[in-house]
Amino acid sequence: MVAIHLICVGKLKEKHFAAACAEYEKRLGPFCRLTVTELAEERLPEDPSQAQIDAALEKEAGRIREKLPKGGKLVALCVEGKLLSSPDLARTLSGWMVEGASSVALVIGGSFGLHPALKAQAHLKLSMSPMTFPHHLARVMVLEQVYRAFQINAGTRYHK
């Protein structure tokens, strides 16, 4: 069974987002070993300089790398990433599993995104949309899309 690691910068505080995440975590149980890891976002001043932002992203990237599974596939969620349909994401995940990938890590950065070096390391840079979403909602969306991918690959009617 494949291991899916969702690594998020920032804590999930809102109860409605936490409930939605818990529902998809439960639904994913039969399909994968899911691990959700929350990492603290670096504190920055109210109006940070680019150098301060870069330093914070570098520290966050270091903590993210410590949580990445060895030899797994890395998906960086970023606005400049590739837009995939749900069936395309399902095919991508299925293809990695056929190739022998035992784990996939999906990474959602904090309010300033992800460090460029971490994005460069990714096997896939994925964009959920060119629109901007709260990071907590993005977490729900990623879990739902991973669940949908498993449903598509299983041939169920969940995806219409």
Write down the residue that tokens 């606005």 correspond to.
Answer: 79
pLDDT-based confidence at residue 71 (cuts at 50, 70, 90): confident
- The CATH number for 37's domain is 3.40.1280.10
SS3 letters for the chain?
CCEEEEEEECCCCCHHHHHHHHHHHHHHCCCCEEEEEEECCCCCCCCCCHHHHHHHHHHHHHHHHHHCCCCCEEEEEEEEEEECCHHHHHHHHHHHHHCCCCEEEEEECECCECCHHHHHHCCEEEECCCCCCCHHHHHHHHHHHHHHHHHHHHCCCCCC
Region 76-83 average pLDDT: 95
What is the overall mean pLDDT for the chain?
95
Q: Do the Cβ atoms of 84 and 126 come closer than 8 Å?
A: yes
User: What pLDDT sits at residue 160?
Assistant: 67
For residue 68, pLDDT over 70 is answered with yes
Please say if the pLDDT value at position 92 is more than 70. yes
How far apart are the C-alpha atoms of 155 and 10, rounded to whole Å? 34
Within-domain flag for 10 = yes
What local confidence, expressed as pLDDT, does residue 158 receive?
Answer: 83
Residue 132 falls within a domain, yes or no?
A: yes
pTM of this prediction?
0.94
Total of domains in the chain = 1
Output the CA angle 14-12-69, nearest 5 degrees: 160
Six-digit token pair at 86?
A: 């749900």
Please give the backbone phi and psi of residue 7, each rounded to the nearest 5 degrees, phi first.
-110, 120
Domain assignment present for residue 160? The answer is: no
Of 24-28, 42-46, 133-137, 140-144, the range with the lowest mean pLDDT is: 133-137
Residue 159 domain-assigned (yes or no): no
Tell me, yes or no, whether 158 lies in a domain. no
> Which residues constitute the domain of residue 7?
3-153
The answer to whether residue 141 scores a pLDDT higher than 70 is yes
Residue 159 pLDDT exceeds 80: no
**pLDDT tens track for 98-133:** 999 999 999 999 989 999 999 999 999 999 998 888
Q: Is position 81 within any domain?
A: yes
Tell me the average pLDDT across 141-149: 97
Nearest Cα residue to 106 out of 68, 53, 79, 51: 68
> What pLDDT digit, counting tens, does each position of 26-43 carry?
999 999 999 999 999 999
pLDDT of residue 100: 92
